[in-house]
Amino acid sequence: MELQIEKPERGVRAFISKLGRGRDSAQRKFIFATVSPMVLYMAFWTLFPLLWGLALAFFEYSARRSGGSFLGMGGDNPFIGLGHFQDMLNFAEDAPLPIRQFHLSIKTTLLFAFLILPLNLALTLPLAVLIESIHERVKGLFRTIFFLAVLAPSVGVAIMWGYIYHPQRGLLNAVRTLIGGKLVATNWTGDQSLVVLGIPVALIAVIIAYIWQDLGYNLVIFIAALQGIPESIKDAAKIDGANWWDMFWRITIPLLLPTILLASILTMISSFQVFDIIQVMTEGGPNDQTRVLVIDIYNNAFRFQRMGWASAVSVVLFLMVFSISLIQSRLLRTEWEY
């Protein structure tokens, strides 16, 4: 008898046949019927706007001008190819205002994101270990307290911190006045001359508000991860003479690396996309010191109707977030299993 060797299926046919493998016809039809609406919905409301936004980046587009017949592109909204991206490379001191604001926004966004990440991790990780070490009955209470800030609307958080930072009526200046015995009215979010180590104080003020709100999110993730570390490993470490610092640095941190990677990526992505807290607290001021990329995109797209330029900036933001996420996942990749 000849040996029959089946050629492996490849391509779309292989994909489709894999979908049905192990399922009967009725099940396959059910899956198709129930998944299709969401796929269509996502395609229309996510994929299409994404592609349209990408296309706009190659046009000098403003909604105020009547363009061509297809989605207003063309006509008075001409195709300019890589024109916007070429303009972004204009680093002259007298470059047009939108370009200088774009460069400033990139710098501020990177500063914001790279300050948020280490501060966030430095606060949440030890805090998670601390909360995890206390009695079971109280653990839940602390977890809830810290997570409540995450649930609060960002606009409300920004308004609250605005009151804390208010120059004449704010809590912060009131405490300083009480301590100093002399009236103090520092404009924490509005005085552009206030700079610490080259970082505008207004940006620091926004960072504090942002971390205050965001703390609970990573905290809950880390607490869940800590609960996944087997007690046997901790017991073995104790038997070997590990103190609390050895336990934290040599046991907990390495075992939490996959979670730290996840938290880092999520924190970075959200800090690159920060908008509402800055828009309410400072609107990108004073003098553009807190102007991040999303504020720049918003102002260009909706205040000044430079939709094409705003789309190009959005593409740059996407590429930045994507690149940094890739780099992070490479650097923090681990093969731990326990």
The one segment of 5-13, 135-143, 267-275, 286-294 that binds other proteins by CB under 8 A: 286-294
Footprint of other proteins on 148-207 (CB under 8 A): 166-168, 182-185, 187, 189-193
Residue partners of 120: CB distance under 8 A and separation at least 6: 211, 214, 215, 218, 263, 267
Residues 6+ apart with CB under 8 A from 21: none
Which of 7, 10, 21, 64 touches other proteins (CB under 8 A)? 64
The secondary structure of 225-266 as a DSSP string is: HHHTS-HHHHHHHHHTT--HHHIIIIIIHHHTHHHHHHHHHH
Which span (13-21, 68-76, 124-132, 145-153) binds other proteins, by CB under 8 A? Answer: 68-76
Choose the binding region for other proteins from 22-30, 115-123, 257-265, 324-332 (rule: CB under 8 A): 22-30
Q: How far is the CB of 149 from other proteins (least distance, A)?
A: 24
258 is an interface residue for other proteins by CB under 8 A: no
137 binds other proteins (CB under 8 A): no
96 binds other proteins (CB under 8 A): yes
Does 97 bind other proteins (CB under 8 A)? Our answer is: yes
Question: Closest separation between CB of residue 14 and other proteins, Å?
Answer: 24
Write down the least CB distance from residue 307 to other proteins, Å.
8
**Torsion angle of C-alpha atoms 210, 212, 215, 216, degrees rounded to 10:** -120
Separation CA 203–CA 267 (nearest Å): 17
Q: 12 or 38: whose CB is closer to other proteins? A: 38
CB 285 within 8 A of CB 190: yes
Here's the x/- map for other proteins, 31-50, by CB under 8 A: it reads as: --xx-xx--xx--xx-----
Residue corresponding to tokens 């409300």: 156
Q: Residues 55, 305, 315, 320: which binds other proteins (CB under 8 A)?
A: 305
For residue 77, list its beta bridge partners.
74
CA distance 336 to 262: 14
As measured in angstroms, the least distance from the Cβ of 36 to other proteins is 6
Count of residues in contact with other proteins, rule CB under 8 A: 47
Phi and psi of 288, rounded to 5°? 65, 20
Contact predicate 119/204, CB 8 Å: no
Let me know: does 172 contact 188? Beta carbons within 8 Å.
yes
Footprint of other proteins (CB under 8 A): 26, 29-30, 33-34, 36-37, 40-41, 44-45, 63-67, 71-72, 76, 94, 96-97, 166-168, 182-185, 187, 189-193, 282-283, 285-288, 299, 302-305, 307
